[in-house]
Amino acid sequence: MRIALVHDDLVQWGGAERVLEAMCEVYPEAPIFTSVYDCSNEELSKRFGSKKIYTSFLQKIPWWRSLYKILFPLYPVAFEQFDFSKFDLVISHTSRFAKAIVTKPRTIHICYCLTPPRFLWHFSGEKNYGFLEILLSILRIFDRVFASRIDHFLVNSKNTGQRIKKIYQRDSKVVYPFVDLARFKNIEAFDGGYFVVITRLNKYKRVDLALQACLELGVPIKIVGSGPELGKLKVESGKWQVDSQIDLLGNVDDGTVVQVLAGCRALIVPGIEDFGITPLEAQVLGKPVIAYREGGVLETVTDKKTGIFFNEQTVESLKEAILKLASTNIVAQNCVDNATFFSKENFSANFKKAISSLVY
């Protein structure tokens, strides 16, 4: 069977790209079709350099590396231009527009969907106004059209499956992604006395809640990541004049992330995650997770066994959860055992099994 893989873009190394790499290992002969590919990225080149990669016309636009985000209205067109007539099965891996591909009737299209496009469907709760919202309204109509072209949906969580059902009126099958256990092998965990948040600093991630809660409780916090909210977080932390209590680390390498997790008291997840790999990474090291009770964490964290949930996205609710952690007996081995279930081996086996059940 001739198989092709389709991915939104290859411009950074992250959780989605780790899953793509695992898919490539399941189907090593399958080429990758993507909108743009930054071959100057050392990690991407290392992971995918030996693969046959086809890019769209967006790759030919001068200075696309600076423009690719604002060119998002062109992405559906870019994916529609690919020719899959030589393939029997096409697997799109997407949180945006890779599912817009067009296939012949005899070619099966299976979409492994991480989430319907967040910026289109306002999962973050943020609204746009004026021309931008008009444009997004048009794209939402087309997004439903793209979904109708798909033969079968696979999803990364029950949470995403519910979104697929609500927005596209389609059923789906869950195949959980994985935590890369090899990254944490032989890493010794310890209690450094601080809490940690590791995420992209967007408004909907609600990192401000974690910062404020830790400041009011007088406990140290480390924040890993960058994004639009970084400036506001710096201003807010500066008001308290307790530099030793706050550590805004920005973007750091994989090794540093592992060490920061290894020394934390707990990981805080104050936003709503589609699935969320970081809570599993913390649990691999025996660390509990304090999370808002919504989204993908409900499938990766067990209340009072591997973490603590808080019910409202407020500073007070989060503070109560942080204090509750101290009086809750969370066994590190329970966290490790839970994370081990989400292994790469399990993902690969379950993914291949799910594809086979839909194709044969």
Q: Give per-residue pLDDT as tens, 189-232.
A: 999 999 999 999 999 999 999 999 999 999 999 999 999 999 99
Instruction: Read off the pLDDT band of 319 (50, 70, 90).
Output: very high
- DSSP-based three-state secondary structure for 48: helix
Statement: residue 329 has pLDDT above 80: yes
Mean pLDDT in residue range 325-352: 96
Tell me the pLDDT of the chain averaged across its residues. Answer: 94
Q: Assign domain 3-178+343-359 one CATH number from 1.10.287.110, 3.30.565.10, 3.40.50.2300, 3.40.50.2000.
A: 3.40.50.2000
pLDDT at residue 64 tops 90: no
Per-residue pLDDT, 330:
96
3-state helix, strand, coil in the chain (%, to 5): 45, 15, 40
Would you say residue 128 has pLDDT above 80? no
Whole-number pLDDT of residue 360? 79
Q: How confident is the model at residue 297 (pLDDT cuts 50, 70, 90)?
A: very high
Partner residues linked to 289 by β-bridges: 267, 307
Which fold does the domain 181-340 belong to in CATH? Rossmann fold (3.40.50)
**pLDDT the model gives residue 197:** 98
Sequence-separated (6 or more) residues with CB below 8 Å from residue 50: none
Q: According to the model, what pLDDT value does residue 124 have?
A: 63
pLDDT of residue 239: 73
Residues of the chain within CATH 3.40.50.2000 domain(s) are 3-178+343-359, 181-340
pLDDT at 125 > cutoff 70: no
- 130, pLDDT greater than 90: no
Burial (CB count <10 Å: 0-12, 13-18, 19+), residue 143? buried
Residue (of 70, 65, 3) closest to 36 by Cα position: 65
Segment 71-87, tens digit of pLDDT? 888 999 999 999 999 99
pLDDT > 90: percent of the chain: 84
pLDDT band for 324, please (50, 70, 90 cuts): very high
Query: 140-180, pLDDT tens digit by residue?
Result: 999 999 999 999 999 999 999 999 999 999 999 999 999 99
Q: How far is CA 26 from CA 20, 45, 59, 346, in A?
A: 10, 19, 27, 12
Q: Where does the pLDDT of residue 118 fall: very low under 50, low under 70, confident under 90, or very high at 90 and above?
A: confident
